[in-house]
């Protein structure tokens, strides 16, 4: 298979939000295969263990036949290589995402010149959604039902004391 027809969409997905979903749906319409790479990312001290982040994403995206969800540890470009993907997708919500993403893409190009980074923007009303804000709102008892899938909202509710 042509590696440029397969893309990895990497992230922590702690948890997956409607913004992530919007991007995945778009990407699934462009590429033959989209692999959601859920990074272990222990440095970020995720709220949900990796297995649960994978499980939640799988449940939310189950109706997309060309999308698979896989957990990984290590370098994203290595994961892309292992999966036979020649493209990495990243989301841009605002100018504030740009600087970090630009640096990351250029660094990755040094490590793996055969992998291209492609940037996508979500529908306008998803631009303000981040996993961090969703976690904070949920843990403080706020309503996150407009920002995440019901199964994700339920999982977040279980974390409240």
Q: What residues line the site for ligand ATP (CB under 6 A)?
A: 11-14, 17, 19-20, 23, 90-91, 93, 97, 122, 126, 129-132
Residue 48 has phi, psi (to 5 degrees) of: -100, 135
- 20 among known catalytic residues: yes
Which residue out of 44, 123, 125, 159 is catalytically annotated? 44
Which residue out of 5, 58, 81, 93 is catalytically annotated? 93
- 123 among known catalytic residues: no
Residue 48 CB, nearest approach to ligand ATP (Å): 11
Distance (Å, rounded) from C-alpha 27 to C-alpha 148? 19
* Residue 68 burial (10 A CB sphere; 0-12, 13-18, 19+): middle
Chain residue at closest Cβ approach to ligand ATP: 19
Provide the b/e sequence for 80-113 (b: ≥16 CB within 10 Å). bbebebbbbbbbbbeeebeeeeeeebeebeeebe
Which residue out of 108, 131, 135, 149 is catalytically annotated? 131
- 131 among known catalytic residues: yes
- 44 among known catalytic residues: yes
Q: Specify the residue, 23 or 54, whose C-beta has the smaller distance to ligand ATP.
A: 23
Residue 23 Cα to chain centre, angstroms: 9
Active site residues: 20, 44, 93, 131
């Amino acid at each position: 298979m042509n590696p440029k027809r397969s893309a990895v969409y990497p992230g922590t997905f702690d948890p997956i939000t409607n913004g992530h979903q919007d991007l995945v749906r778009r990407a699934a319409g462009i590429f033959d295969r989209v692999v959601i790479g859920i990074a272990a990312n222990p440095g970020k001290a995720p709220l949900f263990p990796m297995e649960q982040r994978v499980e939640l994403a799988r449940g939310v995206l189950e109706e997309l036949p060309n999308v698979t969800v896989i957990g990984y540890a290590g370098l994203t470009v290595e994961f892309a290589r292992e999966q036979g993907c020649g493209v990495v997708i990243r989301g841009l919500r605002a100018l504030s995402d740009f600087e970090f993403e630009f640096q990351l893409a250029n660094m990755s190009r040094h490590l793996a010149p055969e992998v291209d980074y492609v940037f996508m923007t979500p529908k306008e009303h998803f631009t303000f959604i981040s996993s961090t804000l969703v976690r904070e709102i949920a843990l403080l008892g706020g309503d996150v039902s407009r920002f995440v899938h019901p199964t994700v909202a339920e999982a977040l509710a279980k974390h409240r004391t």
